[in-house]
Amino acid sequence: MTRKRIAILISGRGSNLPALFRADLGGDIVAIGSNKADAKGLDLARDAGIPTFVVSHKAFATREAFDAAMVDELNRHRPDLVVLSGFMRILTPVFVDAFADRLVNVHPSLLPSYPGLDTHRKVIDEGVKIAGCTVHFVNGELDGGPIIAQAAVNVEEDDTPQMLQQKVLAQENQILPYAVRLFCDNRLQINGKRVRVLPVAAPA
């Protein structure tokens, strides 16, 4: 089986990158890109010897123009899978359609609850007892694509948003590499809004 080529997009510190670097993904990370030149995660990528690139959204008049430029840059690396890991951009169909069914995102809530930003503060303010994270395919709906994997954490009475963020991040570090491995092993089948995890193929 040909190993899949994986590209990752970040906007900040790349908090899931070390877990992805450590994991046996069944594929190879061929590039890590960002919309911000000062994203700390780019330093992690360079230290790991992974090619990096930056496409600044500030250089484009429209979201569509930025997305088209990012698609062009990604295509230079010929990815089979594009992973959004803290990539803080709302994507247009120009981007989403270019990588249909091979674009995944990790989100710090148990979707479909709490899409969008500031999830940990919302969870605590509303007295939610169980929080977590989700890895899902990306479609045209904000944080609304078919769900691949989820993990839950308890919300304690004295949790702050920062404390909850760290607990959720520890779970992201587990389920994001797991979901990427499932994709690289051709074990994900999208059926409408649902994702079926196929069994491991028997040896030939």
Cite the active site residues. 107
- Please check whether residue 158 is in contact with residue 120, taking contact to mean a CB–CB distance below 8 angstroms: no
CB distance 33 to 60 below 8 Å = no
Contact 11, 35 (CB under 8 A): yes
Q: Which two tokens stand for residue 26?
A: 């069944």
Asked if omega into 112 is within 30° of 0 (cis), the reply is: yes
Taking the C-alpha atoms of residue 88 and residue 81, their distance in angstroms, rounded to an integer, is 18
Using alpha carbons, select from 41, 42, 99 the residue that is nearest to residue 67: 99
